[in-house]
Amino acid sequence: MSLIIDNISFSYGDRPILSGLSLEVPTGTTTAVVAPSGSGKSTLLRIIAGLIAPSTGSIILDGKDLSRVPTHLRSIGMVFQDNQLFPHLNVYDNVMFGLRMAKTEKTIAAKRCRDLLDLVGLSQVAKQSVATLSGGESKRVALARALAPSPRLLLLDEPLTGLDSELHDRLAHDLQRILHATSTTALLVTHSLPEAEIISDSLHRLPTAVNSVQDGEKK
């Protein structure tokens, strides 16, 4: 059981972004796709999340083709490059959002939310507005929020871009620890090879704009 990306192609108008891409992410592991900017990494994640439709190919999660499943029913979480925290909700309510959408029973949801805030080390700022958070804190909230509804797959889009180098390294290790602790199946895209090496169990490279993934190399 795992995520299988089967022969995905996508183009904006005449400009091909992805062509014939195939990839597999085994359950409970973190796989990284490393590629330079503009190579279609984010597009790939958006296709997997169902935010855009591929021109060809299919996404199969736990043996089920997701082509006709809308985003909100896919149970695929995503950490966006610039976090996209809800500005009208505080830290706690941001993390609670997915649990509320799933109508999780209140006490269970509250406990899950507290546990996750503990895990990312932000219990003390739970009631704060997200506008007051630092870059690293925002990233942790985004991660906790995405993990809260226990998604079957977590997508991470350049999760450490824009952080200063010390914070970057610390957060990379934290991320690895948290993903392991929650045994989350995750797909990470990044332009940074060292980052991918810290966080992921296996990695792939997408060398150019139009590409097919070359052989996956084991760390």
Partner 1 sequence: MVSHRLEMKIRNVRIFAIPAAMLVFVTAVIPLIVLATSVIDRADIFSIWTKPPVQRALVFSLWQALLSTAFTIFLGVIATWYLSRYQFFGRRTFIALVTVPFVLPTVAVGAAFIAVLPKALHHSTLAIVLAHIFFNISIVVRTVGPRWNSIDDQLIDSARTLGASPLQTWRHVIMPLGKNAVFSATALTFFMCFTSYGIITILGGPGLATLDIEIYRRAVQLGDLSGATVLAIAQMLLIAIAFLLWSRSRSTELIAFRVQAVSHRRLSLAPKCFFLALAAFFTVPLLALVAASMRTSHSWSLKGWKVFLGIQNQRGIDFNMWRAIQTSGKYALIASCIALPTGIAATYALSNRRSSQSRLSALVILPLAISPVVVGLAILITYDFQPFDFRSSWLLIPVVHAAIALPFVMRSALPVVDGIPNDLRSAASTLGAGPWRRFFTVELPLLKPAISTGLAFSMAMSLGEFGATSFLTRRESRTIPIIIASLFGKAGEIPRTTGMVASLVLIVLTAMIVVTIDRKSHI
Asked if 71 is part of the footprint of partner 1 (rule: CB under 8 A), the reply reads: yes
| Alpha carbon distance 41, 10 (integer Å) | 11
Span near partner 1 by CB under 8 A; candidates 58-66, 81-89, 159-167, 199-207: 81-89
Nearest distance in Å: CB 168, partner 1: 22
| Alpha carbon distance 81, 206 (integer Å) | 19
From candidates 15, 88, 127, 218, binder to partner 1 by CB under 8 A: 88
From candidates 21, 49, 116, 144, binder to partner 1 by CB under 8 A: 49
- Among positions 178-207, residues that touch partner 1 (CB under 8 A) are none
Listed in sequence order, the residues at least 6 apart from 20 whose beta carbon sits closer than 8 Å to its beta carbon are 7, 8, 9, 57, 212
Asked if 15 is part of the footprint of partner 1 (rule: CB under 8 A), the reply reads: no
Token pair listed for 166: 């010390």
Span near partner 1 by CB under 8 A; candidates 22-30, 59-67, 99-107, 165-173: 99-107
From candidates 146, 160, 163, 178, binder to partner 1 by CB under 8 A: 146
| Alpha carbon distance 55, 141 (integer Å) | 33
Asked if 100 is part of the footprint of partner 1 (rule: CB under 8 A), the reply reads: yes
Asked if 63 is part of the footprint of partner 1 (rule: CB under 8 A), the reply reads: no
Asked if 102 is part of the footprint of partner 1 (rule: CB under 8 A), the reply reads: yes
Asked if 84 is part of the footprint of partner 1 (rule: CB under 8 A), the reply reads: yes
| Alpha carbon distance 19, 56 (integer Å) | 9
| Alpha carbon distance 46, 190 (integer Å) | 14
| Alpha carbon distance 24, 31 (integer Å) | 9
Nearest distance in Å: CB 67, partner 1: 16
Token pair listed for 67: 């082509």
Nearest to 140 by CA among 163, 122, 166: 122
Q: Which amino acid is at 167?
A: L
| Alpha carbon distance 160, 151 (integer Å) | 21
Asked if 46 is part of the footprint of partner 1 (rule: CB under 8 A), the reply reads: yes
> Where does this chain bind partner 1 (CB under 8 A)?
46, 49-51, 70-78, 80, 82, 84, 86-89, 97-98, 100-102, 145-146, 148-149, 155
